[in-house]
Chain A
Amino acid sequence: MQNTSLNRRNFVKAAGAVSLVGTGIFASGCATVGGVAKPKVVVVGAGFGGATAAKYIAMWSEQGIDVTLVERGDNFVSCPMSNLVVGGSSNLGNISVAYGGLDKYGVRRVKGEATGFDATAKTLSLADGTKLPYDRLILSPGIDFMYETLPGLATGEAKNRVLAAWKAGPETVALRNQLTAMKDGGVYAIHIPKAPYRCPPGPYERACQVAWYFQQAKPKSKVLILDANEDVVSKKGLFMKAWNGQYKGLIEYRNNQEIQDVDARTLSLKMSFGEDVKADVLNVLPPMRAGNIAAMNGLNNSNRRWCQVDWLTYESTAVPGVHILGDSLQIAPAMPKSGHMANQHGKVCAAAVVALLTGETVNQTPMVANTCYSFIDDKNVVHVASVHRYDAAQKTMVTVQGAGGLSADANALEGVYANSWAKNIWADMLA
């Protein structure tokens, strides 16, 4: 007995050769238009990477490709801009977007939790037992936390008391509620893991937002940044200026703060060196890795944490036919794990997948750009930007020398642009 999937493939070939297409043989699981089966793409995760890829594949193929988008959430909640909810100048409604805008592109939406895939049979499995066939599978699962490194946060109760709030949604609001419930004169401490982690400037922006809130409502309180890294990872000069300026005496920054564990009962951190640190609101960003569906299915071939891809197609270097986008990737040099970057991955991948499924040439010179805004307070904003091109010799993305840079100073005009950016990128994904 030969391999059945091979037999099936040979049969499909033979069937095509004698023009049996359209006789009903492909009725199970194949959408057909004019008797020709449409190629199938299944996308997992309707965030910055996945929603963008789904929309652009449907749009660029003019619905010549059957696109299914699997997402477990009810609506999109944006991580970028979510620190404003923590600081109190925004709310969850402002940063939430419905998925329904994708319907007009012909994207089929499936609500569910993807659990695994069969790369030989080319099917994606959902938690409810559904199997979705694909020609190309695109995973954009974001990050998951390495809680195994912090035994003190093993229980759900501990996780609720010491929040990460690093996936926007209910935890964002829960962290805000912890801050509003805190007494004036209390300490908010945020622990930052060693890079790489999702959104390099995000923790520093959050510290600024909490300090801004304390300035308004709880001026005797303090923000403590405990950074496992040797130095501020992103926008250092601009953040330091705020910490030594408008937030002087309110924010304290400590580098090289590695932790061994967290005590959720006493809200304290067990430091690798020195005494325990206690806070009134303790916010711990655990070490991160590729999202579960990627990490649990052998795609995390970089240090068992992140996923390596071919930068021309975003196809996994571990499993053919499976593409990966966004924060789950082993990033190229100087490429941040950001929503903007994931959106750009989504479009390069979309172009490549459409080309691969229609027999066209895959773009050999892809480029991506990054723009990342951070709010210093409720209005003033700083940015970092970069442009990246594919280097054929090194087979990776490299930064275009001389391009990109930082804001000269925090300013309100970029606050307007940051809000505009959010509206446009959310629309680029979902409207």
Chain B
Amino acid sequence: MKSLHSFARTAAFAATFAAASAFAQTAPASAPVDKHLARNLAAQCANCHGTNGKSVAEVPSLAGVPANVTIQKMKDYRDGKLPATIMHQLAKGYTDEQVALIADYLSKQPK
């Protein structure tokens, strides 16, 4: 989960930087960072995979699944390496950073 941590660090740094240099002419325009971004992104999965990734039906749960497993699956769906009915189409909708945030959040949810 090196990439995720470094992403989170970068995001946190960007927020601090944006706040500290709010009056600097040269500061890049940067949207404020939502500290619940991972939670909010992961909530999109709940319709099919259950609230906080805990499924109550045939579609598998994502809660407690190690982040690297979910990240690899999403990559394989996106690249057409894993057969799917629908996930190959949905996986293409998210960036690597978004998938990493979602996977990390769901990995920490109780099974």
Contacts and interface: CB of A to CB of B under 8 A. Distances in A.
Contact of A362 (B34, B49, B51, B92): B34
A363 B51 contact: no
A428 B85 CA distance: 22
Given A369-B44, A413-B85, A417-B85, A424 B59 contact: yes
Interface residues of A, number: 46
Contact of A56 (B43, B44, B91): B43
Interface string B74-99: 00000000000110011111100010
B85 A419 contact: no
Nearest to B87: A385
Contact of A431 (B44, B56, B89, B98): B56
Interface in B28-79: 31-37, 39-41, 43-44, 46-51, 55-59
Contact of A424 (B40, B44, B50): B50
A263 to B, nearest CB: 41
Contacts of B44: 344, 347, 367-369
A403 B48 contact: no
B85 A407 contact: yes
Interface in A262-313: none
B93 to A, nearest CB: 3
Interface string A163-205: 0000000000000000000000000000000000000000000
Nearest to B34: A363
A392 to B, nearest CB: 7
Contacts of A385: 86, 89-90
Q: Which of B32, B36, B41, B47 has the most chain A CB atoms inside 10 A of its CB?
A: B47
Given A364-B32, A392-B31, A403-B92, A351 B51 contact: no
Contact of A400 (B33, B43, B93): B93
Nearest to B47: A425
A351 B40 contact: yes
29 contacts: A60-B36, A340-B47, A344-B43, A348-B40, A351-B40, A351-B43, A355-B34, A360-B35, A361-B35, A366-B40, A367-B94, A371-B47, A385-B86, A385-B90, A392-B31, A400-B94, A403-B92, A403-B93, A403-B94, A404-B90, A404-B92, A407-B85, A413-B85, A414-B86, A417-B59, A420-B59, A424-B47, A428-B47, A428-B51
